[in-house]
Amino acid sequence: MIPHRVRPANSCDVNTSGRYVLYWMQAFRRLHANHALDCAVMWSRELKKPLVVFEGLKRNYPWANARHHAFMLDGMQDNAAAAKKLGIAYWPFVETPENSGRGLVRKLAEDACLVVTDDYPAFIVPAHNRAIANCSVPVHLVDGNSIVPLSLLGPAASAAAHLRHRIHANFAEAWRNRAAAEPEIHKSAKSKLDPPFEPWAGDRAGAEVDASVPPVPEVRGGSKAARAALAEFISKKLPRYAEERNDPDDPADGAASRLSPYLRHGHLAIQEIAEAVLGESWSPAEIDPKAKGKRADFYTRDANAGSFLDEAITWRDTGYHWHFAQNVAHGSGTVSWHGEAGSPSFNFESFDFSPLKKRTLEVVLPEWAKATLRKHVGDKREHTYSLEEFESGATHDELWNAAQRELVRTGRIHNYLRMLWGKKVLEWSKTPSDAYRVLEHLNNKYAIDGRDPNSYTGILWCFGLFDRPWFEREVYGTVRYMTSASTAKKFDLDGYMRYVNGLG
């Protein structure tokens, strides 16, 4: 394992009389291709103690609803089966009104030699990690987010183009140090230790949360479904990806992978996706050093594979790294928190990035974007809508309404329409801050891949993050503008409307 992946969250000594090594699985919810799991396995071998994997599901995470819950519960079922095969103790906990999880991880840590957990740089995980750092045993935060460890990528980049070069420079070495495809479980790691709480029985009873956002029947979560989706993508869609990825036609026919929900919940590792795309025989010897920093040809001369990997690695990492860099730059070596040095980390109380009660956009946008949006804040808006009107898809624009309906019904919007969807909320809100609130809420409530680093950077891109100034116009200022009419010309609009109308 590359040491750059692991950060100590405290300076406690190992509790050699602890009963087990605890892996608290929060974000990389899988028992394969997982650097955090590898780290926990290594410690259990070193200390000759059983490995315990604790995977919990709270009831009160922000935007908790039946859709998000169902996806994660599917994953927990798969993990229970995988743990059984590996012979390790897997302790699943699902909070119910009668059975609170408050203080549970801290209690488990008290009996542990040490704790290993996921260094996911957004949503509620940094807060969890900050809290558990106060326990009496070492807590190791492991970055299993990407192929290249985020700590090797330097300070926050202002554009994907700047990060691409850094990723490419570190890629070959990181590839050689990928997580174990299947963990090598030694004898002492195996056990049948029972948890000191009522473990989840594998059903939905008692696990109900806000049912107003129901599960999407066609979409199953978990590593099994993730692998099936990956196999389907490789055989049917990848060969058309470069040409057709931007066409949001009927998703069954589209070329986009639809893998983001699995990546978001850690049911699939980005390394397994890259392995499947590049093929078994691929090695870093195939990297073209002349293409370092370029979108195409770096990993492979296959245009489809190259185009896909640039999205899945450069663009995905841009969001993850941006969050990671904010946390590290403004934190105390571990994870930062709002109120400290005015840093733009996630504010748990208001569910946004507004430290010191400043508005999010004021804190995180580049200067040019802030200045231009401020200059145009008083511009007359031809249309403005409330959150309720946006949410129910009741704008004057049929394409926008269709995209919103797709999101509500299926938990996804195709990337191309998602950009338009976000831009129009900026145009049709009273202020940019109002627009940000609406987008954060709708994206994170309905999208199965929501509440991710790329939720925030995707939304913030609509306001100028990672972009450059364009031409001056009303409301947007020099922030890039998109119209439904020109977007609709670029794909089969009728096909898309037929698909959305058929969703019911």
Ligand X SMILES: Cc1cc2nc3c(=O)[nH]c(=O)nc-3n(C[C@H](O)[C@H](O)[C@H](O)COP(=O)(O)OP(=O)(O)OC[C@H]3O[C@@H](n4cnc5c(N)ncnc54)[C@H](O)[C@@H]3O)c2cc1C
* Residue ranges that bind ligand X, judged by CB under 6 A: 245, 256-260, 263-264, 311-312, 315-316, 319, 415, 418-419, 422, 443, 447, 449-450, 452, 454-455, 458-459, 461-462
Least distance in Å: CB of 369 to ligand X? 15
Residue 435: CB minimum distance to ligand X, A: 11
CA distances from 105 to 53, 108, 261 (A): 11, 5, 26
Complex with ligand X: residue 120 or 461, whichever CB lies closer? 461
| Residue 95 or 449 having the CB closest to ligand X | 449
In this complex, which beta carbon is closest to ligand X, that of residue 119 or of residue 449? 449
The amino acid sitting at 472 is E
User: Which C-beta is closer to ligand X: that of 7 or that of 258?
Assistant: 258
Q: CB nearer to ligand X: give 372 or 454.
A: 454
What is the number of the residue whose Cβ is closest to ligand X?
458
* Least distance from ligand X to the Cβ atom of residue 273, Å: 8
Output the CA torsion 449→450→452→454 (10° steps). Answer: 80
In this structure, are residues 292 and 161 in contact, taking their beta carbons and an 8 Å threshold?
Answer: no
Compute the distance between CA of residue 31 and CA of residue 268 in angstroms, rounded to an integer.
Answer: 10
Q: Pick the closer one to ligand X by CB: 44 or 307.
A: 307
Q: Quick one: DSSP state of residue 56?
A: E
- Three-state SS for 282? coil
Nearer to ligand X, 90 or 446 (CB): 446
Residue 153 is given by DSSP the state G
CA separation for the pair 342, 357 (Å, rounded) = 9
CA pair distance 201, 420, nearest whole angstrom: 43
CB of 414 to ligand X, least distance (A): 6
At residue 20, what is the residue type?
Y
Q: How far is the CB of 152 from ligand X (least distance, A)?
A: 19
Q: How far is the CB of 16 from ligand X (least distance, A)?
A: 41
If you ran DSSP here, which 8-state letter would residue 352 be given? B
Closer residue to ligand X in complex, CB, 36/419: 419
Query: Which CB, 104 or 256, lies closer to ligand X?
Result: 256
In the bound complex, what is the minimum distance in angstroms from residue 333's beta carbon to ligand X?
28
269 DSSP 8-state letter: -
Indicate the SS3 state at residue 192.
coil
DSSP string over 374-427? HHTTTSPPS----HHHHHTT-SS-HHHHHHHHHHHHHS---HHHHHHHHHHHHH
**Tokens representing residue 320 in the block:** 């993850």
Helix segments in 20-159, DSSP class H? 35-47, 66-86, 104-110, 125-132
Which residue spans within 143-196 are E strands per DSSP? none
What φ, ψ does residue 141 adopt, rounded to 5°? -95, 125
Residue closer to ligand X by CB (options 44, 304) is 304
Least Å distance between CB 315 and ligand X?
Answer: 4
Smallest gap from Cβ 380 to ligand X, in A, equals 25
Hey, is 463 helix, strand or coil? coil
Are residues 307 and 146 in contact, defined by beta-carbon separation less than 8 angstroms?
Answer: no
- Virtual CA dihedral for 336, 342, 345, 350, nearest 10 degrees? 120
How near is the Cβ of 499 to ligand X at its closest, in Å?
15
Greatest extent of the chain over all pairs of C-alpha atoms, in Å:
69
Asked whether 403 and 413 are in contact (CB, 8 A), the reply is: yes
Minimum CB separation from ligand X for residue 439, in Å? Answer: 6
Residue 221: CA count within 13 A, CB half-sphere: 26
To ligand X, the closest distance from the beta carbon of 268 in angstroms equals 9
Nearer to ligand X, 54 or 262 (CB): 262
Cβ neighbours around 231 below 10 Å, total: 11
Q: Which two tokens stand for residue 24?
A: 């608290």
